[in-house]
Amino acid sequence: MNEILILATPELLDYRRQWLESLANEKRFADNTLTAYERDTRQFLQFLTMHLGNPPGLTDVHTLRTADLRAFLAQRRRDGSGSRSLGRHLAGLRSFLRYLERKGLINAAAAGAIRAPRQPKSLPKPLTDRQALEVVSTQAQLQEEGWIAARDSAILTLLYGCGLRISEALSLTPADLPAAATSIRITGKGGKTRLVPLLAIVLDAVARYKALCPFELVTDKPLFRGARGGPLQPAIIQREMQKLRGALGLPDSATPHALRHSFATHLLAGGGDLRTIQELLGHASLSTTQVYTGVDANRLLEVYDRAHPRA
């Protein structure tokens, strides 16, 4: 912290500390976001010290112009930050400056006037049908313990067969997946609830895991357990997927979340309509789901290039 003390007046640094504490304690921001916002504002204060020729105080922040903010973003770009990082830098600064404005200390108009850098469109990278089926099969699992292999297979089958996020799969309880279920009710982001049909292959994979699991599966407790019986952490499945990538020769883009992308892409390729896929994925906006039309178009072009005699 000694390095930071010379970058701004004690008063400004104290407000910055209060802002970060409010994000952590009141707004419950994720640790990664807090770390990023702390770093972004620290870099901004370092920039202002050089830009102004002295450690900035509240008066300097109050008189900030959009040109000053653009100069900071330009420096970050020269230092190697891409558009996504620059967007986050700006989001962190806006949050801090608006906090000071709500306190009646500054005018944050400059932060509101500057546009975030245009973000590049990145298409999801789904697995092929064959790759997805290989990943979810019990035989592909690398765990020696039979029940753990069955567990991993059941989770990956839920991601691909129902389009679940990994957090959604790991929050399921035995009551959510009774043996005769034909659908599953999922509570996703923002508390949005959706109903997803259950394929026989999903039920079979879950039943296999339940039969082999050595721990008592209490109705209202997590269905999927760690090796010692506690709730399973997402990092465990992510590591297993990483091992599967190596064993099956899959690209780095083959992650647990890629199975959700594969679910949507394969449904669309099979004739599913966007509105239905939107509901199954739990997307609040159709525009979020429309990204899969780009994925499907790319796959069609690849097939065309490989198969058409005039391609």
Q: Which of 165, 194, 208, 245 is catalytic?
A: 165
Give residue 94's identity as a one-letter amino acid code.
R
| Catalytic, out of 15, 37, 160, 292 | 292
Q: Which of 189, 192, 239, 243 is catalytic?
A: 189
**Annotated catalytic residue within 42, 88, 210, 257:** 257
Tokens 């770009």 sit at which residue?
77
Count Cα atoms within 13 angstroms, Cβ side, for 49.
Answer: 15
Annotated catalytic residue 257: yes
> Beta strands of 90-216 (E only): which ranges?
183-187, 193-197
> What distance lies between CA 224 and its chain's CA centroid?
21
Among the options 283, 299, 308, 310, which is catalytic? 283
Residue 194 CA to residue 280 CA, distance in Å, equals 7
Residue identified by tokens 């600064």 is: 93
Number of H helices, E strands in the chain: 16, 2
**Cβ pair 259, 132 in contact under 8 A:** yes
The CA distance from 167 to 187, in Å, is: 10
- What's the token pair of residue 208? 């296999």
| Residue type present at position 225 | R
Catalytic residue among 245, 260, 261, 266: 260
Please give the full DSSP string across 41-84, using - where no structure is assigned.
HHHHHHHHHHHHSS---HHHHHT--HHHHHHHHHHHHHTT--HH
Catalytic residues: 165, 189, 257, 260, 283, 292
